[in-house]
């Protein structure tokens, strides 16, 4: 039974990815410092280590016999990254560098890294491909791109795959965090008091990808030989404007409405993915629609808050 290390295992995406690997018969070791993830998210049946991966004391606790590293730990908000850029650098870049050295030392066969669309910065109104210039607008984006470059530098000693995540949403997302996750922020406000406060204009657009699709892509990226050495966008290739998203939420949640107020620092005006590499390298062909994904998300929130 192959053993894999999953970081950020108490977080939204990490916990879902761990559940999939456990179901597929892998032995999973999960790491999280619980600064934003929650212990109750950690799936049953894995070995859990609490610790901050920016510290060598945590790295020393990791098992020596893992085959793969799936690195999803980190601070994941562009807005929050401006509060403490040094802490953001530690969580997103230093942690990755530490895991690279750990991977090389223990002859780990592959590291799959959760990067972000934030590395691109401002882009034109057309699908953005992986070879687009990266000029991040936030401290978060800078840290993510730096980590990507460290992986590139050490690629001859540790095989890696970089997954640039677009706007992931769905059941299990933290509705109490109103500074991370566009869909979950709007949904939480609509469910709370029906008043959605929008930071930035509604003409902005995003590529919204449902959690189940993301989990499947992570599984393929960790197990397909074709993924090694690749940088891949994790999106649907479908452009959804903020206004379209808000109208869908307000339709699904009666008596909710939205108003625009202020802006978010370091926010991208609009971005959606060119997914031709995702399709050709990993064979991904279909995605859950935004309408279906939102309905699933809202149904989950009503059940989980009963």
- Active-site position among 113, 140, 169, 186: 140
DSSP 3-state of 122: coil
Sign of torsion over alpha carbons 138, 143, 146, 151: negative
pLDDT at res. 105: 98
33 vs 271: CA distance, rounded Å: 31
Question: Cβ(234)–Cβ(166) under 8 Å?
Answer: yes
Of 255, 260, 245, 264, which is closest to residue 190 (Cα–Cα)? Answer: 255
Cα 104 versus chain centre, distance: 24
Half-sphere exposure for 159 (CA within 13 Å, toward CB): 16
Question: What residue segments make up the domains of the chain, in order of their start?
Answer: 3-168+209-234, 170-207+238-304
Give mean pLDDT in consecutive 10-residue pieces for the chain, a chain of 306 residues: 94 97 97 93 97 96 97 82 86 95 97 96 94 93 96 98 97 86 92 91 94 98 97 98 96 93 77 97 96 96 68
Give one word for 234, left, alpha or beta, with left for phi > 0 and alpha for psi -120 to 50: beta
Write the DSSP assignment of 161-178 as a string of letters: EEEEE-EEE-TT--TT-T
Phi, then psi, of 275 in degrees rounded to 5: -110, 20
How many CB atoms neighbour CB 178 within 10 A? 15
Query: Which two structure tokens, joined as six digits, stand for 81?
Result: 């990254």
**Cα torsion for 166, 268, 72, 91, to the nearest 10°?**
180
Length of the chain: 306
Task: List 233's β-bridge partners, or say none.
Answer: 164
Beta-carbon contacts of residue 105 (< 8 Å; ≥ 6 apart): none
Residue with tokens 């978010």: 264
Instruction: Look up residue 193 and give its two tokens.
Output: 């008091």
The predicted pLDDT at position 59 comes to: 97
pLDDT score, position 266: 67
Both structure tokens of 2: 């192959």
pLDDT at residue number 264? 74
- 195 sits in which H/E element: strand 195-198
The answer to whether the CB of 8 falls within 8 A of the CB of 74 is: yes
Q: What is the pLDDT of residue 36?
A: 87
Kindly state the tokens that stand for 29. Answer: 């070791």
pLDDT at 304: 67
- Is 102 among the residues known to form the active site? no
CATH fold group of domain 170-207+238-304? UDP-galactose 4-epimerase; domain 1 (3.90.25)
pLDDT digits (tens, 9 = 90+) for 153-181: 999 999 999 999 999 999 999 888 877 78
Do the bridges between strand 208-210 and strand 240-241 make them parallel or antiparallel, or are there none, so unpaired?
A: unpaired
CB-based contact 184:169 (threshold 8 Å): yes
- Sorted by sequence, the CB contacts under 8 Å of residue 123 that are 6+ apart come out as 132, 268, 270, 271
CA distance 114 to 12: 13
For 3-168+209-234, which CATH superfamily applies?
NAD(P)-binding Rossmann-like Domain (3.40.50.720)
User: Rounded CA gap, 130 and 107, in Å?
Assistant: 28
Sign of CA dihedral 54, 56, 61, 62: positive
Q: How many CA atoms lie within 13 A of 113 on its CB side?
A: 32
């Amino acid at each position: 039974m192959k053993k894999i290390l999953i970081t950020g295992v108490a977080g939204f995406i990490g916990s879902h990815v761990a559940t999939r690997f456990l179901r597929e018969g892998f032995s999973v070791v999960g790491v999280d410092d619980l600064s934003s993830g929650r212990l109750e998210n950690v799936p049953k049946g894995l070995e859990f280590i609490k610790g901050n991966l920016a510290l060598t004391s945590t790295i020393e606790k990791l098992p020596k016999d893992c085959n793969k590293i799936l690195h999803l730990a980190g601070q994941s908000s562009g807005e929050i990254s401006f509060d403490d850029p040094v802490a953001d650098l530690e969580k997103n870049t230093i942690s990755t560098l530490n895991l690279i050295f750990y991977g090389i030392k223990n002859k780990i066969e592959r590291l799959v890294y959760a990067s972000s669309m934030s590395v691109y910065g401002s882009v034109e109104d057309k699908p953005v491909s992986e070879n687009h210039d990266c000029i991040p607008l936030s401290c978060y984006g800078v840290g993510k791109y730096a980590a990507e470059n460290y992986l590139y530098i050490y690629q001859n000693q540790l095989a890696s795959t970089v997954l640039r995540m677009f706007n992931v949403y769905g059941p299990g997302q933290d509705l109490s965090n109103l500074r991370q996750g566009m869909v979950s922020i709007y949904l939480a406000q609509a469910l709370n008091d029906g008043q959605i406060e929008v930071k930035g204009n509604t003409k902005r657009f995003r590529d919204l990808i449902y959690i189940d699709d993301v989990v499947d892509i992570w599984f393929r990226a960790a197990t397909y030989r074709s993924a090694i050495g690749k940088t891949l966008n994790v999106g649907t290739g479908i452009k959804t404007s903020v206004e379209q998203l808000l109208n869908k939420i307000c339709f699904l949640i009666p008596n909710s409405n939205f108003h625009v107020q202020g802006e978010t620092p370091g926010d991208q005006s609009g971005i959606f993915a060119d997914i031709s590499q995702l399709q050709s390298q990993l064979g991904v062909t279909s995605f859950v629609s935004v309408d279906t994904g939102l309905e699933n998300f809202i149904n989950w929130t009503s059940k989980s808050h009963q």
